Structure 1
Amino acid sequence: MTEQTTRTLRWGVLGATSYIAGHLMPAIAATPGCALTAVASRPHRRAQAEAAARPFGATAHADYAALVADPGIDAVYIALPNTDHVEWTVRALEAGKHVLVEKPMAMDEEGCARVEQAARAASRTVMEAFMYRFHPQQRRAAEILASGEIGELRVVRASFAFAIGTGSGNIRLEPSLGGGATWDVGPYAIDAPMLFFGQAPQEVSARFSSRPGLTVDTSAVATMDFGDGRAAVVDYSIDYGPRAAYELQGTHGTLSVRNAWAMSGEDGHLTVLTADGVREETVPAADHYQEQVAAFARAVRDGGSTAVTLTDSRRAARVGAALAASAASQGRPVTTADSPKTPR
């Protein structure tokens, strides 16, 4: 066995928010064969990085560049503002690190292409972090769909929403940092139909709204056409909530997942409705952040494909950009087959 397959995978984290410190960092530390080695924040927030690193015995680096250059780091988790994802993913790959990057990997397909090129040149693994895919309730939903119990999938309905207060200082409200609902809560609701249909939609149409005083989109409703009579209806928002659910409508019944983007420690709840009646299932809680870290580590060690592929990430970026283009033209349909610069 090679050293790569046997030694501990040493992680560094770019970004030291309370959310990352409370969910992602413990997941790395708890995953067998992984160790949280270093944390970095912006230079003026060094104290926050030190506080986040201390419980794990990790080092707090002076800035992002110092962590990426650290030869004692094998893999980097990137939890930075959306506009920084491509730059720091590419820099980490070029420094010889494997990278697990928060969604969205990029806000356009060209950014994903840059990441893919850098990963190939460096022979390193990169994956977009869609932690909800690793919760066992998603696997159970896929099993029920594959069993044929609800028939052929025809419509997916997905919603994700939680309120962020105006004046909170939250970076999701800052346009210069890639803020807005479409690139924050939107990727989850958008990903669910693509996950279960196994492809990108052929065409999308969207309407965005913005809270008074803000320039980013704060709520959206969209339709997605997957061809052959298959469709999705999605809504997402940082104006209201909480709401986190998806529904798979088949030719013989419906499968509803009531807490689709469950937090660690929360059970999954599924409901199947067919002509035979209603059936409820509870899926025991799991730390899907830890499941995600473990899956990524296996891909690194085995040299295999990642659970969220670069094709998935390119689709997500292309569809997100298409939704924005449609909304900018008052909801006119936009194809996702090509760059959505010109609405139809």
Structure 2
Amino acid sequence: MASDLSIGILGAGGIAERAMVEPSRDVDGVRVDAIGARDPARARAFAERLDLPKHGDYETILADPDIDLVYLALPPITHAEWAVRALQAGKHVLCEKPLSVNGTTAAAIADAAAETGRRAFVGFHYRLHGFTQRLLEVIASGALGDVDRVDIDFSIPHFVVKPGNIRLDGDLGGGAVMDVGCYAVDLIRAAWGEPVVESAAAVLYDDDPRIDLQTDAVLRLGSGAPARVRASFIGNDQGAMSLRVTGSAADLVATSVIVPQWGATLRVTAGDDVLVDENAADGENSYARQLEHVAAVLADGSPSILDAARGVGTMRVVDDIYRVAGLEPR
């Protein structure tokens, strides 16, 4: 691998700019060199607007011998195909979350990485932000005592996900659990280990009943405590990205968990006593931290919390939520 990590993007949507091109400019040792789209003209326009040196269709990017890592900014239904093809072409892969549409296709990505000797990652960028690391540190510290209950509400305001959005398309692997619920599952697994899905109920989209506009689920932690999760596209005007943990010794409330740079707060109280009252650091960007992390583990070969092999477990829990809610896994 060259001294700089050369990145090619598949998919010319807005997330490619926000999650990869913009943060790459603030990270030493990485550069975005190429953009690929189904429509080469769209890739060219993207490249010209953002001053990227190379553009073309997907195959052009995979065939480029100078590209070290491919970032998939594509609908989840396509991740397995293009991740496997990129790995077989000798590229490392970073998939925009979720890793894939279900546990089976997610496992296909992890298996291909193992077979090719390349690395595959899932883009749970929030995990690399200092705020999230502090949040998990507090949870692990024992300061809360025994966990009695966990409440996670990841709700997008009702006016954001509109008709025509790919998140409302069953053919593309849409749905609220797929979009924001996967974050909740990842967070639960990071903090408390593997949960079991106990119950789930979904509000369905009239125009495509395969799509959950909102799902409420209860996941049982290994300790026996319930974790109540809401994933929603029909939240109120403010929406929510909140985590609440009720413990025997103290209670925790965290906000803006999915995107800590949007003003995340962490507060731990024991009765009238405030044990922790902290805000996310100004100017820290989770996508930049993700890029730094991926470059570092590729350089030294160390394990990653974003490794696809770990991400398979998250998709298997997502599958279980859909099954218990009476829906087919994606």
TM-score past 0.5 threshold: yes
Q: CA deviation at 1:196?
A: 0.7
Correspondence for 1:275 among 271, 274, 277: 271
Distance 1:146 1:113, change over 3 A: closer
Contact 2:73 2:96 in 1 (8 A): yes
Distance 1:171 1:117, change over 3 A: same
Alignment of 1:154-193 (within 5 A): 154-162=148-156, 163=158, 168-193=163-188
Contact 1:157 1:232 in 2 (8 A): yes
Q: CA deviation at 1:105?
A: 1.1
**2:324 pairs with 1:326:** yes
Distance 1:167 1:237, change over 3 A: closer
Correspondence for 1:253 among 250, 275, 294: 250
Paired position in structure 1 for 2:55: 61
Supply the distance in 2 between the matched residues of 1:93 and 1:63 (Cα, whole angstroms). Answer: 17
Paired position in structure 2 for 1:235: 230
Contact 2:99 2:308 in 1 (8 A): no
Contact 1:189 1:234 in 2 (8 A): yes
* Residue identity opposite 1:212 in structure 2: D
Contact 1:137 1:283 in 2 (8 A): yes
Q: CA deviation at 1:125?
A: 1.1
Supply the distance in 2 between the matched residues of 1:116 and 1:22 (Cα, whole angstroms). Answer: 26
Distance 1:108 1:49, change over 3 A: same
Determine helix, strand or coil for the equivalent of 2:220.
strand
Correspondence for 1:77 among 62, 65, 71: 71
Contact 2:154 2:232 in 1 (8 A): yes
**2:113 pairs with 1:115:** no
Correspondence for 2:220 among 197, 221, 225: 225
Tell me the TM-score normalised to structure 2 length. 0.91
Correspondence for 2:33 among 24, 31, 37: 37
Paired position in structure 2 for 1:145: 139
* Residue identity opposite 2:119 in structure 1: T
Q: Deviations over 1:73-109 (max 9, x none)?
A: 0001101011001111100000000111011112222
More displaced 10-residue stretch of structure 1: 66-75 or 279-288: 279-288
Distance 1:312 1:177, change over 3 A: same
Provide the aligned length of Structure 1 versus Structure 2. 323
Paired position in structure 2 for 1:132: 126
Q: CA deviation at 1:169?
A: 1.7
Supply the distance in 1 between the matched residues of 2:246 and 2:133 (Cα, whole angstroms). Answer: 17
Supply the distance in 1 between the matched residues of 2:144 and 2:308 (Cα, whole angstroms). Answer: 30
Paired position in structure 2 for 1:336: none
Contact 1:211 1:239 in 2 (8 A): no
Paired position in structure 2 for 1:14: 10
Determine helix, strand or coil for the equivalent of 2:134.
helix
Determine helix, strand or coil for the equivalent of 2:179.
coil
Contact 1:207 1:220 in 2 (8 A): yes
Contact 1:37 1:57 in 2 (8 A): no
* Residue identity opposite 1:317 in structure 2: M
Determine helix, strand or coil for the equivalent of 2:101.
coil
Determine helix, strand or coil for the equivalent of 2:107.
helix
**2:300 pairs with 1:299:** no
* Residue identity opposite 1:15 in structure 2: G
Tell me the TM-score normalised to structure 1 length. 0.87
After TM superposition, what 4+ stretches of structure 1 lie above 6 angstroms from structure 2?
Answer: none
Supply the distance in 1 between the matched residues of 2:50 and 2:56 (Cα, whole angstroms). Answer: 17
* Residue identity opposite 1:147 in structure 2: S
Contact 2:161 2:167 in 1 (8 A): no
Supply the distance in 2 between the matched residues of 1:16 and 1:263 (Cα, whole angstroms). Answer: 25
Question: CA RMSD for the aligned pairs?
Answer: 2.1
Q: CA deviation at 1:55?
A: 5.0
Correspondence for 2:88 among 72, 94, 107: 94
Supply the distance in 2 between the matched residues of 1:240 and 1:77 (Cα, whole angstroms). Answer: 30
Supply the distance in 2 between the matched residues of 1:12 and 1:253 (Cα, whole angstroms). Answer: 46
Determine helix, strand or coil for the equivalent of 2:234.
coil
Identity %: 30
Could you tell me which runs of 5 or more consecutive residues in structure 2 were left unpaired when the two chains were aligned.
none
Contact 2:245 2:253 in 1 (8 A): yes
Contact 2:119 2:307 in 1 (8 A): no
Distance 1:169 1:272, change over 3 A: same
Supply the distance in 1 between the matched residues of 2:120 and 2:169 (Cα, whole angstroms). Answer: 27
